[in-house]
Amino acid sequence: MGCSIVVDSRLCKGCGICVELCPARALELSKELSPSGYRNPVQTGKCVGCRTCEMFCPDFAIAVVCNGKGSA
Amino acid sequence: MSVAKHFSRKYLREEVLPTPFCPGCFNGVVMNAMFKAMEELGIEDLRNFVFVSGIGCSSWIPNPLIRADSLHTLHGRAVAVATGVKLANPRLNVVVIGGDGDLVAIGGNHLLHAARRNMDLLVVMVNNMVYAMTRGQLAPTTPLGFRTATTPYGNFEPPINVAKLLINTNANYVARWCVSNFHKLKQSFKEALSEVSKGFRFIEVVAPCITYVVRYEGKTPGQKIKELREACVEVKSISEIDDVERRGKIAVGVFKKELKPGYVELYESYASRAREASQK
């Protein structure tokens, strides 16, 4: 049980929508820069699997995996 | 186990990612809503779809991003070209995606007449409130008092209310949602692709430009989504629209839903009548 958040650092532009909209406050922008120069989100708290970040991610970079399965 | 991917990625061309949009641009959220609707309807490949767009930021959505046939046409002429595509092959599902500048400012007459004919198209208007691609000038949909590049002291031109205009035409389906109403927007896409699959279907998405509206206001994309959740009020009937707008809110909802015959159906019955008359 439990969900985890996978971020594709090639696509993420660090807009922070996922960090601000996460109802469980499970995400934070990283201190280090990604290869393309953005601050990607990293999971710091417990993910409840609501998939809000996935729905509002404008760059298709985030995926929520619950019990080993993504939504796709 | 392969690495999990975002659900939209199966409809996208991997080789052109990342997207050409600014960080946080709501165009991606509109795409997510559309793809989620397609996923739930069981549309796996987009072979029966043609996406037509004109010029503008949101016209970059179909071409090159979506893994389907698409036409990137002249500025403002997306609806006119889509009309031609639909009449040439009526079995295709034709979707027009454009911005307010493309569909209303320069292409306003095409939009109006396609709606008048009840042309079998799904038109998605991403209303970002400014001419974003040319650096945020005043657009016909800019709300009063808005600071843009050409009205730095606040807009004084009254805007056009496109959804309200199209209610009074012959269109089958007219809806407006804010980008924050993700599930309702997805539901509208589902209705426009399955239930009301003929006639002119128009979905307006209020998605303020990240760079020239949201950043000018000193906000982040996430704050803007939270603000839109408060500012968008769903109405049940079109008589409430004026009331909501007088309070300074954005009226959203499905404003019109009918099942009148579309243009292709009317044209085919006309053609058969013409054939009968010529054989006499």
Domain boundary assignment for chain A: 3-66
Query: 């035409």: which residue's tokens?
Result: B169
**Is B58 touching A (CB cutoff 8 A)?**
no
Please tell me the pTM assigned to this model: 0.93
**How far apart (Å, rounded) are the C-alpha atoms in residues B30 and B26?**
6
Chain A's closest residue to B37, CA to CA, is A55
**How far apart (Å, rounded) are the C-alpha atoms in residues B203 and B201?**
7
Chain B segment 154-183 residues within 8 A of A by beta carbon are 182
Query: 């996978």: which residue's tokens?
Result: A6
Amino acid letter, residue B195: E
**Is B89 touching A (CB cutoff 8 A)?**
no
CB B116 within 8 A of CB B132: no
Would B16 be classed as within a structural domain?
A: no
- Check whether A27 has a pLDDT greater than 80: yes
Share of chain B above pLDDT 90, in %: 84
- Check whether B103 has a pLDDT greater than 70: yes
Share of chain B above pLDDT 70, in %: 99
CB B94 within 8 A of CB B50: yes
- Type and span of the H or E element at B164: helix B162-167
Q: Are the Cβ atoms of B17 and A11 closer than 8 angstroms?
A: yes
CA distance B135 to chain A (A): 20
CA distance B21 to chain A (A): 8
Tell me what pLDDT residue B1 has.
45
Residue in A6, A55, A58 nearest the CB of B21: A58
Would B238 be classed as within a structural domain?
A: yes
**How far apart (Å, rounded) are the C-alpha atoms in residues B58 and B136?**
14
- SS3 for A5? strand
Domain A3-66 has CATH 3.30.70.3270: yes
Which of A18, A53, A55 to substitute to test the interface with B, most B CBs within 10 Å?
Answer: A55
Q: CATH code at B80?
A: 3.40.50.970
**pLDDT 10s digits, B27-72:** 999 999 999 999 999 998 899 999 999 999 999 999 889 999 999 9
Chain A's closest residue to B227, CA to CA, is A21
**Is B225 touching A (CB cutoff 8 A)?**
yes
The residue count for chain B? 280
CA distance B228 to chain A (A): 13
Task: Tell me which residue range forms the domain holding B67.
Answer: 25-259
**How far apart (Å, rounded) are the C-alpha atoms in residues B198 and B266?**
11
Chain B's closest residue to A69, CA to CA, is B4
Q: Identify the band that residue A71 occupies on the pLDDT scale cut at 50, 70 and 90.
A: low
Would B276 be classed as within a structural domain?
A: no
Tell me what pLDDT residue B67 has.
92
CB pairs under 8 A between A and B: 101
Among B155, B139, B137, B142, which Cα is nearest to B102's? B139
Would B182 be classed as within a structural domain?
A: yes
- Check whether A1 has a pLDDT greater than 80: no
Chain A residues whose CB is inside 8 A of the B210 CB are 15
- Check whether B79 has a pLDDT greater than 70: yes
Chain B residues whose CB is inside 8 A of the A16 CB are 24, 220-222
| Tokens read off for A15 | 């807009």
Tell me what pLDDT residue B196 has.
87
- SS3 for A21? helix
Number of domains in chain B: 1
CB B172 within 8 A of CB B198: yes
Cα B12–Cα B14–Cα B18 angle in degrees, nearest 5: 95
Tell me what pLDDT residue B27 has.
93
Cα A36–Cα A41–Cα A43 angle in degrees, nearest 5: 140
**pLDDT 10s digits, A8-17:** 999 999 999 9
ipTM of the modeled complex: 0.92
| Tokens read off for B150 | 């050409």
Would B188 be classed as within a structural domain?
A: yes
Q: Are the Cβ atoms of B222 and A16 closer than 8 angstroms?
A: yes
- Check whether A72 has a pLDDT greater than 60: no
Q: Are the Cβ atoms of B24 and A16 closer than 8 angstroms?
A: yes
Q: Are the Cβ atoms of B5 and A8 closer than 8 angstroms?
A: yes
Among A53, A68, A54, A10, which Cα is nearest to B35's? A54
- Check whether B104 has a pLDDT greater than 90: yes
**Is B6 touching A (CB cutoff 8 A)?**
yes
**pLDDT 10s digits, B172-221:** 999 999 999 999 999 999 999 998 889 999 999 999 999 999 988 899 99
Q: What is the rounded average pLDDT for all residues in chain B?
A: 92
Determine the longest span between alpha carbons in chain A, in angstroms. 34
Which of A10, A11, A56, A69 to substitute to test the interface with B, most B CBs within 10 Å?
Answer: A56
Q: Are the Cβ atoms of A14 and B225 closer than 8 angstroms?
A: no
